[in-house]
Structure 1
Amino acid sequence: MLIQLLALMIFVCMDTSLKLMTASYPVLQLTWARFVFSSLMVVTFMWLTMGRLPWRSRAPGLQALRSLLLCGCNIAFTIALAHIPLADATAVGFASPLITLALAALILREEVSPRRWLGVAIGFVGVMVALRPPFLTGAPLHWAYLLPLVMAAMNGLYQILTRRLASLDDSRVTIFHTNIAGGLAATFVQPFVFVSPTALDWLALMGLGVLGALGHGLLVLAYARAPASLLAPLSYTQLIWASCAGVLVFQDWPDGISLIGAAIIAAGGLLAALPQRR
């Protein structure tokens, strides 16, 4: 559980860094740094610990699609961070576990109990509140609030592919391929968007990749040591870290609508995540 909490804190640190750097660098350049330096870190770690790279996949097309979906998630979320508070973007993005559950039932034909469907419904009510619709705020809906919802949908498909690939490839193969296709796709567009970083900013760009790889690595370690039913509800603590980072770094204090929306999303997510028991 402590490893899971640490991983979530690291993800918030990465998101905070991304939001800060969107003021100076294009989103596609930040995405490139996140994926390329994560890939280099994963490749180096596997080479040192295994003496080889587990690159052979039984489903290379699905691996590439999964990586591209993760790249799309990062692009959508980073664009959103440039325009809306970190806590709001994180709250709306937590529609992802609910979408994953719904897609698992529809695509993978997994059995979903009525209680979990109720959790999905409650969670989406929270998402509608967190989107800050005009009838609650009296102001037009900002288009950037829709991007975390797009990210959540793509992340839901990403998680479905992760489950599908678990029956086809070794987990190390999937970890190896996670950043490859996304990094290559982002590399191709760099001649059109690249802004030369300072020496200090190069370290910050590399830090994005290190934080991303470290966070995902810790998640793998956590889920190898505890059941998903215990760890999944802890994901909602990320809302706390994101709110703290928004206040401390950006002076973005969450208002009543943000807090109510986040609370409803968390309640629905927890109801859906609880294990089946009497």
Structure 2
Amino acid sequence: MTISNQSKDRPVRGIVLMMVSALFISGQEAIAKHLIGDGLPLSQVIWARYASHLALMLGFMLIFVLPRDGGSAFRSARPLAQVGRSMLLLIDTVLYFSALTFLSLVEVTAIMFIAPILVVLLARPLLGESLTARRLIAVAVGFSGVLIIVRPGFDGVSWPALLVIGAAVCVALFNLATRHMRSVDPSRVTMLYTALVGTVAASIWVPLEWVPPSLDQWGLMIAIGLLGGTAHGLLIVAHQDAPASTVAPFMYIQILWALGLGWMVFGDWPDIATAIGAAVIIAGGLIVLIGEARRNNRRSK
């Protein structure tokens, strides 16, 4: 499916969708932290996140896609690659949700912002993309921001922070795999595999630890997947409405959403080091984004 130039030239809508997507992602994470703290096993929360997402995707495809495209709507040209890519996101979810039981929402969100910088670092060996001096500087700046937050001493880095760093590596690899798969399958097939693989894998694990949820917990279990699935959909549309260099900087508003939700729901407030580290990580990402925007402008002239 081709996208018209008109649909791409909506920068204001793209920016708004990116900010709403970041809000939904923060909401999903806040719900996960609440459910785990409320006594539900990690496996059950992860299952809820993917199962609700899968239900949303199947409903969308059955209503809007299947009548038009038939069975081809569900076929992948490279199913094993889609499974491997989806497993990266599942591992990220396990590590990320595990870290949320030990760290504040703001701390986890801030450390995860190294993922876009890792994408820059890994894009050369994995995709053959160039690695400029500006990008290397951005990687160094972002890593220094992580060190400010984690504050490693003689006792070493806290292991919950290592969980987040591991999650960030998985997300970086997942994003690179998604970039590779965009020329292989339509985005709807890629999103379907993301939800399907996560649901199947979590369904094998969750019966061993299932805890009967209350009615309120059922509602939150459904909401966590709907928020996550909708956020991914908005993210795709945002990049269709405007260039990545236009909308990507606004993903950093997630730190503000995480700050607000962390304070309202959990009473968390970041210390000075966390705030400084988050600002440094964001600066590292903006170095890349501003440089890419300038390069795109020079190419278009």
Q: TM-score, normalised by structure 2?
A: 0.88
> Which moves more between the two structures, 207-216 or 165-174?
165-174
2:35 aligns to what?
Answer: 21
For 2:50 and 2:86, locate their aligned partners in 1 and report how far apart those are by CA, in whole Å.
10
What's the offset of the Cα at 1:180? Answer: 1.0
What's the offset of the Cα at 1:28? Answer: 1.1
Identify, as 1 or 2, the structure richer in helix.
2
Amino acid at match of 1:20: H
What's the offset of the Cα at 1:15? Answer: 0.6
1:260 aligns to what?
Answer: 276
CA deviations 1:116-159 (Å, max 9, x no partner) are: 22111111111111212237xxx764311111100000001101
2:242 aligns to what?
Answer: 226
Give yes or no for the alignment of 1:276 onto 2:291: no
Equivalent residues in 2 for 1:72-87, closer than 5 Å: 72-87=91-106
- What SS does the corresponding residue of 2:127 show, helix, strand or coil? coil
Equivalent residues in 2 for 1:135-146, closer than 5 Å: 141-146=157-162
For 2:267 and 2:225, locate their aligned partners in 1 and report how far apart those are by CA, in whole Å.
26
1:62 aligns to what?
Answer: 81
CA contact (8 A) 2:121 2:135 kept: no
Give yes or no for the alignment of 1:197 onto 2:213: yes
Amino acid at match of 1:161: A
CA contact (8 A) 1:26 1:193 kept: yes
CA contact (8 A) 1:130 1:257 kept: yes
Unaligned runs of 5+ residues in structure 1 are none
CA contact (8 A) 1:116 1:273 kept: no
- What SS does the corresponding residue of 2:235 show, helix, strand or coil? helix
What's the offset of the Cα at 1:276? Answer: 3.5
- What SS does the corresponding residue of 1:31 show, helix, strand or coil? helix
Give yes or no for the alignment of 1:250 onto 2:280: no
For 1:98 and 1:5, locate their aligned partners in 2 and report how far apart those are by CA, in whole Å.
20
Equivalent residues in 2 for 1:104-253, closer than 5 Å: 104-134=123-153, 141-253=157-269
For 1:27 and 1:156, locate their aligned partners in 2 and report how far apart those are by CA, in whole Å.
23
- Select which of 40, 56, 74 maps to 2:55: 40
CA deviations 1:221-256 (Å, max 9, x no partner) are: 111101001111111111111111111211111111
CA contact (8 A) 1:37 1:209 kept: yes
For 2:189 and 2:262, locate their aligned partners in 1 and report how far apart those are by CA, in whole Å.
36
